[in-house]
Structure 1
Amino acid sequence: MTVAPPTATERASRVKLMIFDVDGVLTDGGLLFTAEGDTMKGFNSMDGHGMKLLRQAGIETAIITGRQSGIVAARVKEMNITHVYQGVQDKPAAFADLLQQTGLTAEDCGYMGDDWVDLAVMLRVGFAAAPANSHPEVIARAHWVSEARGGYGAAREVCDTLLRAQHKYEALLAAACSGEQRGLVG
């Protein structure tokens, strides 16, 4: 008898660590350059709030990105993300280091990426997610695809999906409605 592979919801229910790429996932992928050559990026506050909700629910978050950016460093510091890998040329090696640092297995992890450089990690994790505007090869290999584009709420969608799959969404929403989440901003 053939056993059906786990659904995206089943996979999401097991995630203990959600890892995000930055460009094209937490941003729209656009790079704005000043006349001095500095790079600027825009982040969606709802994405940030979703990541904070994950941590509040006991799901760790991490960043693995190919670019080195002071803007990203400032954003992750503001959001209290402790596992941050910037300027990464070998994402699988960074992922292996992250597993060693956390003591988790690849099956315990989720990863949201948008382009070919993310595939090697996406194919190893228990839950692979992609923004709606990801490269078609990434979408074809993802377990779950957001309705939103990268930088426009895709990360928040995956955060909400994880919280719902782990039956933590309603309690967090109730706390927000009662005012118990004061000071939790994205």
Structure 2
Amino acid sequence: MAVPQPEASARATRVRLMIFDVDGVLTDGGLMFTGSGDTMKVFNSLDGHGAKLLREAGIDTAIITGRRSEIVAVRAKELRITHLYQGVEDKRVAFAQLLAETGTTADECGYMGDDWPDLAVMLQCGFAAAPANAHPDVLERAHWVASARGGHGAVREVTDLILRAQGRYDALLAAACAPHAGQ
């Protein structure tokens, strides 16, 4: 995991809503197509659990993605990500809608993206993160960069950073380690 700089940790303490791109962030960016033209994507279970931990800690989550895919809707539902924007040409428009919908300020938002279409929103957010294999222009502008590649644990790294910065990580870990009642 990348060592968070003090500024990145300070910015992470303010995150009330964490937003993710899909291709290159929640997935490795590869696209597989079936013979009938359906798209297949591979998601990382560690990343998914990280999104669930954010929700458990009271941090809202959202997806803003340029592509439209039924599998993304299924994954968002599975992770209980209620704010899903797909087929978005201008992510700034979806971001403005998301802020209005949630009553969150841009400074209270985090965004993890990997390519140019993500930059306009990343630059508005209080905390901008990128996977290790993001485009160089994105890496240059991110407040924090994961050591993992997109689709290979980068989302989990950023969720752990946020939870640690907000002092919630240890309690969530202790709850996971506690024996269940009745055992």
**TM-score (norm: length of structure 2):** 0.94
Residue type matched to 1:117 in 2?
Answer: P
Q: Which runs of 5+ in 1 are unaligned?
A: 1-5, 181-186
Q: How much does 1:21 deviate?
A: 0.2
Q: 2:35 maps to which residue?
A: 35
* Secondary structure of the corresponding residue to residue 111 of structure 1: strand
CA distance, structure 2, for counterparts of residue 40 and residue 131 of structure 1:
21
Alignment match, 1:100? 100
1:20-79 per-residue CA deviation (whole Å, 9 max, x = no partner) reads: 000000000000011111110000011010000001001000000000000101111111
Moved over 3 A (4+): none
* Mapped partners of 2:36, 2:96: distance in 1: 36
SS of 1:14's partner is coil
Task: Write the mapping of 1:104-115 to structure 2, written as runs, cut at 5 A.
Answer: 104-115=104-115
Percent of aligned positions that are identical: 72
Normalising by structure 1, we get a TM-score of 0.93
Q: Unpaired runs of 5+ in structure 2?
A: 1-5
The alpha carbon displacement at 1:179 in A equals 4.0
Deviations along 1:148-184, one digit per CA (max 9) or x if unpaired, are: 000000000000000000000000000000046xxxx
Deviation of 1:87 after TM superposition, in Å, equals 0.4
Q: How far apart, in 2, do the equivalents of 1:50 and 1:82 lie? A: 15
Equivalences for residues 77-96 of structure 1 within 5 A:
77-96=77-96
Deviates more, 1:110-119 or 1:6-15: 6-15
Separation in 2, partners of 1:113, 1:52: 19
Amino acid in the other structure paired with 1:59: I
Q: Secondary structure at the match of 2:24?
A: coil
- Tell me which residue corresponds to 1:142: 142
Distance 2:136 2:64 in 1: 21
Q: What is the rounded CA distance, in whole Å, between the counterparts of 1:132 and 1:88 in structure 2?
A: 24
Q: Which amino acid aligns with 2:117?
A: V
Aligned residue for 2:99, secondary structure, equals: helix
Q: Distance in 1 between matches of 2:55 and 2:89?
A: 27
RMSD over equivalenced CA pairs, Å: 0.8
Cα shift at 1:81: 0.8
Separation in 2, partners of 1:52, 1:158:
13
1:71-113 deviation per Cα after TM superposition (whole angstroms, max 9, x unaligned): 1011111111110000000100000000000001000000000
* CA–CA separation in structure 1 for the residues paired with 2:131 and 2:169: 21
Aligned equivalents of 2:41, 2:89: Cα separation in 1: 20
Match of 2:70 in 1: 70
Change (3 A) 1:179 1:125: farther
1:26 is matched with which residue?
Answer: 26
The number of aligned residues is: 175
